[in-house]
Structure 1
């Protein structure tokens, strides 16, 4: 998209001169000469076709058009400044940028971020959600919370926790305690999460039951499976850490006490050794490890 804009240095010279009242003070702020500020303002006026200042003795006074134009220019630079700090951080410190899977971010990380910020009020954090783990890009984020086998080669890998896989359902779908729970689950509507290793097939084999055919919806994220289960659409097989918010609120209950030991675990992947990260990133990693292993 083409923008009908004057050169930004000309606009910056105009804004500084209008705010500070003369070219000399504007030059000191912009680290150029007063003559350069005067030249840039005149170039701007020539391009616009109208004067922006009445040049008085040692003083500048905005013309009527200059007064009308100034608030929009000030807002544009203010918006750029806010956006720059929001995305890239200030000059003094940069935010800690980390990535995690969407379900983990929504169900585990977000409820705890306020606690981290209360402990570390001077550290800003940015969370990037992802559907699947990809290569760590230090230019975009230097910390990655991954779920897998830990055999990645794009960063320093540190084990966090192995999470059991449990079956959950809406309270209305509670199994009959007088009958075989595994047998009832084989006949029940079950929700499958695509792309995971710890499936209903693994569950039934582990507990010595013939593997039944598919019975229910398939989704690509744990969060979707949990929401469907909470709405009564079937039994879901999910990581306990991610199910806990639903269990604690009563939206879900355990279908059975039987669990699977997950073949994958949570890992912390960093762009280099943790000791080489910024102090802010090290503090975040220390907090994350403590919280996940608690």
Structure 2
């Protein structure tokens, strides 16, 4: 099909000339000479086999075929422009891709993004979330934040935080933790055991519901269902945001932490990447 289409440059020239009704004005808008505009139009007309303009002294008008063709050309150019803008963004936007564990992205970073964008309106932050850090193949990620113990091979890991865990339950729930439905978060099997050992309380031997992220667990708890042991920073952020949840016990420090991860041998970061990286460090330090 593409071999039957006219040259895109000719179509852009036709649209400008038809809109401005003047070859010279169209040339000025497109950065072309009047002769180049005329040549583009003649080439397009030869390709289509019909005249698109009625050429009269000091009076340029569209032919009937030109009038019929113009809306289709304009719509096609508009669609192409919108698609390009949507996929790649305007030229003045500088994009930085930040990969973060999904619960950290949703519960911790997302509420802080408006402040970031207010301070850096010309910088686009692309947030890529994963449940486990290694669940994606290598991709074009500018900044990689992981949750773990900092022992991943082939990377340099800079510690951003220390963490603690805490049981969280619905805000209006007064029953002891042991009497509420325990929620299990996949991949965090030892949270209950660590908390129980530190506080000298019984650990559930079975769970009523299992979910795959802390974000899902907090949503269920906010809806009045169950109790879970999650990172304390997530609970504090949820309470500050007005979510109907509360801490159901004291915090217990754990070895788990968030790390800024960089692959060995990577080139120095772009200026905008350094800006986002400094912001991320400040967010976790605060």
The alignment's TM-score, normalised by the length of structure 1, stands at 0.78
Checking the alignment, whether the CA contact within 8 Å between 1:198 and 1:262 is kept in structure 2 is no
Checking the alignment, whether the CA contact within 8 Å between 2:131 and 2:213 is kept in structure 1 is yes
Please say which of residues 198-207 and 104-113 is displaced more in the overlay.
198-207
* 1:40-51 alignment runs, 5 A limit: 40-46=43-49, 51=51
List, as ranges, runs of 4+ consecutive aligned residues in structure 1 with deviation greater than 4 Å: 2-5, 23-28, 30-36, 57-60, 153-156, 270-275
* 1:205-220 alignment runs, 5 A limit: 205-220=197-212
Provide structure 2 residue ranges, at least 5 long, that are not aligned to the other structure: none
Q: Does 1:6 align with 2:30?
A: no
Please say which of residues 150-159 and 209-218 is displaced more in the overlay.
150-159
Local SS of the residue matching 2:94: coil
Please say which of residues 21-30 and 155-164 is displaced more in the overlay.
21-30
* 1:251 CA drift (Å): 0.6
Query: What does residue 260 of structure 1 align with?
Result: 252
Local SS of the residue matching 2:172: helix
Checking the alignment, whether the CA contact within 8 Å between 1:136 and 1:155 is kept in structure 2 is no
How far apart, CA to CA, are the structure 2 residues paired with 1:271 and 1:163? Answer: 24
How far apart, CA to CA, are the structure 2 residues paired with 1:13 and 1:231? Answer: 58
Query: What does residue 245 of structure 1 align with?
Result: 237
Local SS of the residue matching 1:161: coil
Query: What does residue 128 of structure 2 align with?
Result: 128
Q: From the superposition, tell whether residues 71 and 210 of structure 1 become closer, same or farther in structure 2 (CA, over 3 Å).
A: same
Q: From the superposition, tell whether residues 262 and 135 of structure 1 become closer, same or farther in structure 2 (CA, over 3 Å).
A: farther
* 1:136 CA drift (Å): 4.3
Local SS of the residue matching 2:123: coil
* 1:271 CA drift (Å): 6.4
Checking the alignment, whether the CA contact within 8 Å between 2:196 and 2:203 is kept in structure 1 is yes
* 1:226 CA drift (Å): 0.3
How far apart, CA to CA, are the structure 2 residues paired with 1:282 and 1:272? Answer: 17
How far apart, CA to CA, are the structure 1 residues paired with 2:105 and 2:181? Answer: 27
Question: What is the total number of aligned residue pairs between the two structures?
Answer: 279
Checking the alignment, whether the CA contact within 8 Å between 1:23 and 1:37 is kept in structure 2 is no
* 1:40 CA drift (Å): 4.0
* 1:24-35 alignment runs, 5 A limit: 25-26=26-27, 29=30, 33-34=36-37
Local SS of the residue matching 1:12: helix
Checking the alignment, whether the CA contact within 8 Å between 2:98 and 2:142 is kept in structure 1 is yes
Query: What does residue 88 of structure 2 align with?
Result: 88
Q: Calculate the aligned-residue CA RMSD, in Å.
A: 3.4
How far apart, CA to CA, are the structure 2 residues paired with 1:104 and 1:65? Answer: 58
Q: Does 1:195 align with 2:197?
A: no
Q: Over residues 201-252 of structure 1, what are the superposed CA-to-partner deviations in whole Å (9 max), with x where a residue is unaligned?
A: 3322333445431132100111110011112211111112222233232511
Query: What does residue 164 of structure 2 align with?
Result: 164
Query: What does residue 278 of structure 2 align with?
Result: 286
Checking the alignment, whether the CA contact within 8 Å between 1:156 and 1:273 is kept in structure 2 is no
Q: From the superposition, tell whether residues 85 and 254 of structure 1 become closer, same or farther in structure 2 (CA, over 3 Å).
A: same
Local SS of the residue matching 2:248: strand
Query: What does residue 110 of structure 2 align with?
Result: 110
Checking the alignment, whether the CA contact within 8 Å between 1:11 and 1:44 is kept in structure 2 is no
Query: What does residue 226 of structure 2 align with?
Result: 234
* 1:193 CA drift (Å): 0.6
Q: From the superposition, tell whether residues 41 and 262 of structure 1 become closer, same or farther in structure 2 (CA, over 3 Å).
A: farther
Query: What does residue 137 of structure 1 align with?
Result: 139
The alignment's TM-score, normalised by the length of structure 2, stands at 0.80
Please say which of residues 269-278 and 235-244 is displaced more in the overlay.
269-278
Q: From the superposition, tell whether residues 225 and 28 of structure 1 become closer, same or farther in structure 2 (CA, over 3 Å).
A: closer
